[in-house]
Amino acid sequence: MHEDMIRVEHLSKIFTTGFIGLGKRIVAVNDVSFNCKSGEVIGLIGESGSGKTTTARLILKLLAPTSGEIYFRGKSIWTMPNREYYRCVQGVFQDPYSSINPVYRVKHLFNNTSNLFREVPKNEASHRVKEVLELVHLKPEEVLEKHIDELSGGELQRILLANCLFVDPNVILTDEPTSMIDASMRVIVLNLIKELSEKHRKLIVFITHDISQAFYICDRMIVMYQGLIVEQGSAEDVVLNPQHPYTKRLISDVPKLKQKFKLSMED
Amino acid sequence: MSLKDLLRHSPKLLVGTCIFTFFVLFAIFGSTLFNVDPTKPEFGSLETPSFDHPLGTDILGRDLFAQLIHGTGYSLKIGIVAALITIAIGVGVGGIGGYFGGIVDEILNLASNVVLTIPTIAFLIVIAAYFRVRSEWIIILLISSTSWGGMARSIRSQVLSLKTREFVDLAKLSGISRVRILFFEVLPNMLSYLVMYLALSVAGAIGSEAGLSAIGLGPTAIVSLGMLLRWVIVWEAVRYGAWWWFFPVGLTITLITLSLLLINDGLDQVYNPRARRG
Amino acid sequence: MDGGNHDILIEAVDVKGYYDVPKGYVRAVDGCTLKLRQEEIIGIAGESGCGKSTFGKILMGYDKPPLRMVSGTITVNGVNIYSVTWNERKRIWGSSIAMIPQYSMNSLNPTRKIRNLIVDAMREKFRTGISESEMVQRAEHRFKDLGLSSTALDMFPFEMSGGMKQRAVIAISTLLNPKVLIVDEPTSALDVSTQRLLLELLYYIVKRKIVGSMIIISHDIASLRQICDYMYIMYAGKIAESAPMERMIEHPLHPYAKLLLDAVVTPEPEIRKRKLEGIPGAPPQLIKPSIGCRFSDRCPHVMDRCKSEEPPYLALEPDRFVACWLYGEGMGTDARRHDQS
């Protein structure tokens, strides 16, 4: 049964700058509505300024909306206590080097996350930590005692995915999880994300500016531009048969391997 | 890295730490090894250094070496305690304002700016003169209440930038309270800065005390390095050519300050390595 | 190769450039050979840490400590660049060969107007007999040519978008019409449409002969594919394979090149139909490289010979070079002695 895991209704977020809001007004998210079901990978695509990251932060309760509602399984997320909500919804962010506190070792990350599971005894929790690290093909004894400068971007990003799995949420929002990783490791991380949805039935919201990566792993795609949704549909429909001029331009401007740009200044 | 590694990495740090530790030990153990009352005028006047009086005596017949021991002790105490209080206030004000934002930040930031711009010397003179009897704690509070402004601003800006880092977001996603995040996630990233600032603050506080005392507004009941300077001035030691009286005090203040600056510089070298220049 | 002059503008033979660090030497460029002809656009591709940026600097003669040119020869426009002094090299930088380093659009002095930056640059690097006003006039024409209005000259960098800044940097770097332009990661931190415009711009400045030839260093193979005629793929300080662009894309030979090209995601239908394979593991540390082929620990076709002997960089066809034991002794001609004129 594919239920509506996350439902966003008429969500808006307006930022004001200046002293007591007398400065500029930025409409980051403009009356956005969409829904996502469990077990799918849904892509939220847009370039900088599109509002995709703000939308993600709103869903993660890191920001409060100006208007609109977000529902998790029918319940408004703002009525749910944080510790309950975060056992169901988690996030993985862009910069793996910034996502773990550089002052501490990697195990500190998992210690923090166990705050959500205070009722679980400590040795059970450490056992679970080792399990999830192995799930992302990492050796616990090789990473837990290290600091972030001793590990590569790919390893760190996998540790963050493992941290997500430790919580075992229903929904994972990943914000540009591969933009700071090399091409060869990127595919491995993308495959891992796809596996989370297929094998573990999680809803993955994949937020990116890179429509090609989204095309590889997403079932459905939502294209945003300047705070608005301009197009949504299945991945094939959106990429192979785009309707909105912005989407069309976006796809045609992406460099491809099989065909070259028509260079307008060709002699 | 461990303390040993730190010291090995930077010669400045090593030298600074050695000199400062020497003065600390000098202050702590000096009076047990050389048990003479610095305030009793029981010896001959203006005696040059000798075995009995390693730094000679002043015009009133008081032993100068004993004065130096006590003076160093009190100055270090005033300096260190004032610096710790300054840092506690600065971190509290800057950290809370920077992290929580909003109206709290506006108020705390305003307070920091006011404290920063008040002319410290003038303020200290006015307030100090108001107190007829000044214990060392009055001096400590005077110094620390006027010097936390710069630190608060600096901590605030660092907290502002650190709180947007993703590890802070992830801590929130673990349901950790904002206060815990501030103290256990954000502030630990500034430890190296705090240690460096501590060294500078101590140097500054010792200097402030010396300055206040030299103009007669220092602690009234105790012998501090600043008080020793005061006596040098009041009794016109220079006119008497009593180099054993005026020289060691100035040298001590200079060396203590220098050692703290070296520590600060050495730590800076270790924590902020610059690219090798060819 | 079709059309154009076959004059060789850069010839680099078995170049080694190391970084002198306390722990030893970082062998960022460890025996690389390259040839650049007139009117050619060459791409140097590779992942982070492969040495491509360092190679770009070395090719220019910019071996500022701790970087050091250790061995090999580099001839730029006929000049053996490491046989002349730093000051003599400074004279040819800008006019004979120019470089746009990574993130250069972020290093525009934010307190100076573009017009003054041009004058600054001219005074600092360009040392020619042209007067200031003439230089600014030339800049105005060039800006217009590159799609920037002349009002851009009176802007501050923070008033310009990323794309505008990058164009301004390109315009300033090419004012003296250098024969060779080396660009490092021209399209990072820009959005997709701006990236496309920039690639077109780079193509344009070669076709309109504003510069003679170009070397583009990038990790984005799909972007390089759009305008480069020839591509080098680097791995761990060495060149794994080099070939004309079309041939490389159609049929890469080196296992790393194959895997790297397979890992490129594009919005084309084939991507949905199969599972892509990345390359597990990580590149070796360049400070203590292992013996044998540097890719051997991650290569799906590894043989015993690969672990003990480094494969030489050999020509398989007149225009195509690979360093891999799968291809035996190639044509039997060592690239280092190969002459293609």
Which residue of B9, B274, B276 is the best one to mutate when testing the C interface, meaning the one whose CB has the most C CBs within 10 A? B276
Q: How far is CA B35 from CA B29, B59, B63, B229, B245, in A?
A: 10, 20, 11, 22, 19
A7-66 pLDDT, tens digit per residue, is 999 999 998 876 665 678 889 999 999 999 988 999 999 998 899 999 999 999 999 999
A118-130 in b/e form (b: 16+ CB < 10 A) is eeeeeeebbebbb
C185 and A CB contact within 8 Å: no
Could you state, in order of their start, the residue ranges of all structural domains in chain C? Answer: 8-96+214-336
Residue B276 lies in a domain: no
Q: Which two tokens stand for residue C190?
A: 């820009």
Residue C340 confidence (pLDDT): 42
Residue type, B58: D
Look at residue C330 and tell me whether its pLDDT is greater than 80: no
C127-156 pLDDT, tens digit per residue, is 566 777 887 888 888 888 888 887 888 899
The alpha helices in A29-138, defined as continuous H runs, are: 52-59, 82-85, 107-113, 122-135
User: If you average pLDDT over residues A88-105, what whole number do you get?
Assistant: 91
Residues A178 and A54 both lie in one domain: yes
Handedness of CA C151, C182, C51, C275 (dihedral sign): positive
Residue A51 lies in a domain: yes
Q: Which of C217, C224, C161 is nearest to C194 (CA)?
A: C161
Residues A175 and A55 both lie in one domain: yes
Residue C54 confidence (pLDDT): 94
Name the neighbours of A, counting chains with at least 3 Cβ pairs within 8 A: B, C
User: Cβ of C282 and A152 within 8 Å?
Assistant: yes
Residue A250 confidence (pLDDT): 93
Residue of A nearest to C276 (CA): A187
A182 and C CB contact within 8 Å: yes
**Angle at Cα A111 formed by Cα A98 and Cα A113, nearest 5°?**
70
User: Cβ of A255 and C275 within 8 Å?
Assistant: no
Using a CB-CB cut-off of 8 Å, the residues of chain A touching C275 are 191
B169 and A CB contact within 8 Å: yes
Residues A199 and A83 both lie in one domain: yes
Instruction: State how far residue B274 is from chain C, nearest Cα, in angstroms.
Output: 13
Using a CB-CB cut-off of 8 Å, the residues of chain B touching C66 are 276, 278
Residue C133 confidence (pLDDT): 81
B241-256 pLDDT, tens digit per residue, is 888 888 899 999 999 9
Residues A244 and A149 both lie in one domain: no
User: Cβ of C64 and B278 within 8 Å?
Assistant: yes
Residue B277 lies in a domain: no
Residue B238 confidence (pLDDT): 85
User: Cβ of A98 and B171 within 8 Å?
Assistant: no
B172-207 pLDDT, tens digit per residue, is 999 999 999 999 999 999 888 898 999 999 999 999
The alpha helices in B215-242, defined as continuous H runs, are: 225-234
A198-238 pLDDT, tens digit per residue, is 888 899 999 999 999 999 999 999 999 999 999 999 999 99
User: Cβ of C200 and A191 within 8 Å?
Assistant: no
Considering only CB atoms, A101 lies closest to which of B172, B175, B185, namely: B185
The alpha helices in A18-106, defined as continuous H runs, are: 52-59, 82-85
How many Å apart are CA A137 and CA A179, to the nearest integer?
20
Please identify, among A144, A168, A192, the residue that sits at the C-terminal boundary of a domain: A168
A262 and C CB contact within 8 Å: no
Residue of B nearest to A62 (CA): B169
User: Cβ of A91 and B171 within 8 Å?
Assistant: no
Please identify, among A141, A168, A195, the residue that sits at the C-terminal boundary of a domain: A168
C337 and A CB contact within 8 Å: no
Residue of C nearest to A211 (CA): C267
The total number of residues shown for chain B amounts to 278
How many Å apart are CA B69 and CA A50, to the nearest integer?
68
User: Cβ of B167 and A100 within 8 Å?
Assistant: yes
C282-307 pLDDT, tens digit per residue, is 888 888 878 899 999 999 999 998 99
Considering only CB atoms, B173 lies closest to which of A91, A100, A104, namely: A91
**Total domains in the fold of chain A:** 2
A14 and C CB contact within 8 Å: no
Residue of C nearest to B275 (CA): C66
pLDDT confidence band for C5 (50 / 70 / 90): very low
Instruction: Give the residue, A267 or B130, on which the prediction is more confident.
Output: B130
B72-124 pLDDT, tens digit per residue, is 999 999 999 999 999 999 999 999 999 998 889 999 999 999 999 988 878 88
Name the neighbours of B, counting chains with at least 3 Cβ pairs within 8 A: A, C
Interface of A with C in 68-87 (CB under 8 A): none
Residue of B nearest to A160 (CA): B170
User: Cβ of B170 and A163 within 8 Å?
Assistant: yes
How many Å apart are CA B245 and CA B228, to the nearest integer?
9
Considering only CB atoms, A250 lies closest to which of C192, C208, C260, namely: C192
Which residues face C233 on adjacent strands? C45, C241
C200-243 pLDDT, tens digit per residue, is 999 999 999 999 999 999 999 999 999 999 999 999 999 999 99
Residue A265 confidence (pLDDT): 54
Residues A82 and A177 both lie in one domain: yes
User: Cβ of A62 and B172 within 8 Å?
Assistant: yes
Residues A56 and A111 both lie in one domain: no
Using a CB-CB cut-off of 8 Å, the residues of chain C touching A255 are 195-196, 199, 220, 222-223, 225-226, 266
User: If you average pLDDT over residues A183-199, what whole number do you get?
Assistant: 88
pLDDT confidence band for C338 (50 / 70 / 90): very low
Answer whether the bond into residue A81 is a cis peptide, omega within 30°: no
User: Cβ of A163 and B185 within 8 Å?
Assistant: no
User: Cβ of A99 and B167 within 8 Å?
Assistant: yes
User: If you average pLDDT over residues B53-59, what whole number do you get?
Assistant: 83
Residue C125 confidence (pLDDT): 58
Q: Provide the percentage of residues in chain C whose pLDDT is more than 70.
A: 93
Residue of B nearest to C63 (CA): B278
Residue B233 lies in a domain: yes
Which residue of A187, A218, A248, A256 is the best one to mutate when testing the C interface, meaning the one whose CB has the most C CBs within 10 A? A187
The domain that holds A44 is classified in CATH as 3.40.50.300
Instruction: State how far residue C176 is from chain B, nearest Cα, in angstroms.
Output: 29
What is the span of the domain harbouring residue A215? 36-64+76-88+169-254
Residues A156 and A183 both lie in one domain: no
How many Å apart are CA C165 and CA A97, to the nearest integer?
28
Residues A80 and A192 both lie in one domain: yes
Residues A181 and A234 both lie in one domain: yes
Q: Is B94 within 8 Å of B155 (Cβ atoms)?
A: yes
Residue of B nearest to C66 (CA): B278
SS3 call for C176: coil
Residue C194 makes CB contacts below 8 A (sequence gap 6+) with: C161, C162, C163, C166
pLDDT confidence band for B9 (50 / 70 / 90): confident
How many Å apart are CA A41 and CA A194, to the nearest integer?
7
Residue type, A54: T
Which residue of A59, A101, A157 is the best one to mutate when testing the B interface, meaning the one whose CB has the most B CBs within 10 A? A101
Residue B45 lies in a domain: yes
How many Å apart are CA C42 and CA C216, to the nearest integer?
6
pLDDT confidence band for A264 (50 / 70 / 90): low
Instruction: State how far residue C139 is from chain B, nearest Cα, in angstroms.
Output: 34
A107-149 pLDDT, tens digit per residue, is 999 999 999 998 888 889 989 999 999 988 899 998 999 998 8
In which residue are the tokens 């939220």 written? A44
Residues of A engaging B, defined by a Cβ cutoff of 8 Å: 60, 62, 82-83, 86, 90-91, 93-95, 98-104, 109, 112-113, 115-116, 160, 163
Using a CB-CB cut-off of 8 Å, the residues of chain B touching C65 are 276-278
Give the ipTM. 0.88
Instruction: State how far residue A253 is from chain B, nearest Cα, in angstroms.
Output: 31
Residue C196 confidence (pLDDT): 92
Residues A161 and A176 both lie in one domain: no
Look at residue C107 and tell me whether its pLDDT is greater than 60: yes
Using a CB-CB cut-off of 8 Å, the residues of chain B touching A100 are 167, 170
CATH annotation of C8-96+214-336: 3.40.50.300
User: Cβ of A210 and C191 within 8 Å?
Assistant: no
Residue A217 confidence (pLDDT): 94
Q: How far is CA A248 from CA A245, B17, C236, C334, in A?
A: 5, 66, 38, 48
Q: Which of C21, C41, C7 is nearest to C215 (CA)?
A: C41
What is the span of the domain harbouring residue B207? 3-271
Q: What is the pTM of this model?
A: 0.82
Residue C2 confidence (pLDDT): 47
Residue of C nearest to B278 (CA): C65
- Mean pLDDT of the residues in chain C: 87
User: Cβ of A265 and C200 within 8 Å?
Assistant: yes
The domain that holds B183 is classified in CATH as 1.10.3720.10
Q: Provide the percentage of residues in chain B whose pLDDT is more than 70.
A: 96
Instruction: State the count of interchain CB pairs (< 8 A) between A and C.
Output: 119
**Total domains in the fold of chain B:** 1
Residue C254 confidence (pLDDT): 95
C18-43 pLDDT, tens digit per residue, is 999 888 899 999 999 999 999 999 99
Instruction: State how far residue B168 is from chain A, nearest Cα, in angstroms.
Output: 8
B8 and A CB contact within 8 Å: no
